[in-house]
C-alpha cells in the first residue's frame, strides 16, 4: 500500500516521477491499460468501486481504508460497492487542473450509492444541462490519458444509466 495522500480518490492525477526526458517509449499498443491508481476499482465488467464496510458502525467508505473513517474501528472488511447510484451534485470542469493530462471539458460530480455513501467522481457527461438531481448513474471505466509508455491510463467515472435499465430498486 502506498500512503499516497489520497485526496478522496478524486481524479488523482498520477503523481509519477517526472520521467519525461529519458523514457519516452513509443506507444505499446492500445490494449495496454493501467488504472490511475491500484485498489480504487476493479475493471472487469461490470466495474466496481473497491470500498470498505465497518464491522462496528456498519458504515461504508471509499476509497478502501484499514481504519473506519467514521468510528476509527479497524474492523473493516473489503467490499465491492454498488455500481449504480443517484446523481447528487455535478458540474463541468473546463480548465485542466494542475497535473491533469486528460481532455477538457469533463463532468465532475457526486453520486450517492445505495450503501449510503457519496462518491466524488468524474462524470462522462460534460454538459451540466443534461444532468439532473437523482438521475440514475452507472459506474464505468474510461480512458484518462496515455502515459509515457503509451499505455492507456484508466479511471472510474459515472455515466447516465439508460432509462429504465437501472431503476430496479425503488426502495
Ligand atoms: Zn465504523
Q: Per residue in 20-67, pLDDT tens?
A: 433 444 444 445 789 998 899 998 888 999 999 999 999 999 999 999
Whether 80 is in a domain gets the answer: yes
SS3 128: helix
- In Å, how far are 28, 49, 132, 134, 168 from 89, measured between CA atoms? 38, 19, 8, 9, 22
Distance 71 CA to ligand 1 centre (A): 4
Distance 70 CA to ligand 1 centre (A): 5
pLDDT at 165: 52
What total number of domains does the chain contain?
1
Whether 171 is in a domain gets the answer: no
Distance 116 CA to ligand 1 centre (A): 13
Per residue in 79-97, pLDDT tens?
Answer: 999 999 999 999 999 999 9
**Residue 171: is its pLDDT beyond 50?**
no
Distance 111 CA to ligand 1 centre (A): 21
What's the pLDDT band for 69 if we cut at 50, 70, 90?
very high
pLDDT at 163: 72
Distance 145 CA to ligand 1 centre (A): 36
pLDDT at 73: 98
Distance 26 CA to ligand 1 centre (A): 47
Whether 140 is in a domain gets the answer: yes
SS3 94: coil
Residue 12: count other Cβ atoms within 10 Å of its Cβ: 18
Per residue in 140-154, pLDDT tens?
Answer: 999 999 988 999 999
Per residue in 127-141, pLDDT tens?
Answer: 999 999 999 999 999
pLDDT at 157: 97
pTM over 0.85: no
**Residues, beta carbon < 5 Å, ion ligand 1:** 54, 56-57, 68, 70-71, 73
The x, y and z cell numbers of residue 105, run together, are 471539458
Mean pLDDT of the chain: 83
Whether 62 is in a domain gets the answer: yes
Distance 156 CA to ligand 1 centre (A): 25
pLDDT at 169: 46
Whether 14 is in a domain gets the answer: no
Per residue in 109-128, pLDDT tens?
Answer: 999 999 999 999 999 999 99
Distance 64 CA to ligand 1 centre (A): 12
What is d(CA 78, CA 3) in angstroms, rounded to the nearest whole number?
18
Whether 89 is in a domain gets the answer: yes
Residue 121's domain spans which residues? 33-160
Whether 15 is in a domain gets the answer: no
What is d(CA 40, CA 62) in angstroms, rounded to the nearest whole number?
8
Distance 58 CA to ligand 1 centre (A): 6
Amino acid at each position: 500500500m502506498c500512503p499516497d495522500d489520497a485526496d478522496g480518490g478524486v481524479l488523482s492525477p498520477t503523481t509519477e516521477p517526472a520521467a519525461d526526458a529519458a523514457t519516452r517509449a513509443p506507444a505499446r499498443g492500445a490494449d495496454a491499460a493501467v488504472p490511475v491508481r491500484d485498489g480504487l476499482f476493479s475493471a472487469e465488467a461490470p466495474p466496481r468501486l473497491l470500498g470498505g464496510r465497518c464491522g462496528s458502525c456498519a458504515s461504508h467508505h471509499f476509497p478502501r481504508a484499514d481504519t473506519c473513517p467514521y468510528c476509527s474501528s479497524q474492523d473493516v472488511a473489503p467490499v465491492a460497492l454498488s455500481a449504480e447510484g443517484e446523481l447528487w451534485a455535478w458540474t463541468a470542469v473546463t480548465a485542466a487542473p494542475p497535473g491533469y493530462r486528460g481532455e477538457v471539458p469533463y463532468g465532475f460530480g457526486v453520486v450517492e450509492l445505495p450503501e449510503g455513501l457519496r462518491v466524488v467522481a468524474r462524470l462522462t457527461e460534460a454538459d451540466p444541462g443534461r444532468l439532473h438531481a437523482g438521475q440514475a448513474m452507472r459506474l464505468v471505466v474510461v480512458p484518462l490519458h496515455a502515459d509515457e509508455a503509451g499505455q492507456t491510463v484508466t479511471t472510474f467515472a459515472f455515466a447516465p444509466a439508460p432509462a429504465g435499465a437501472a431503476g430496479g430498486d425503488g426502495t
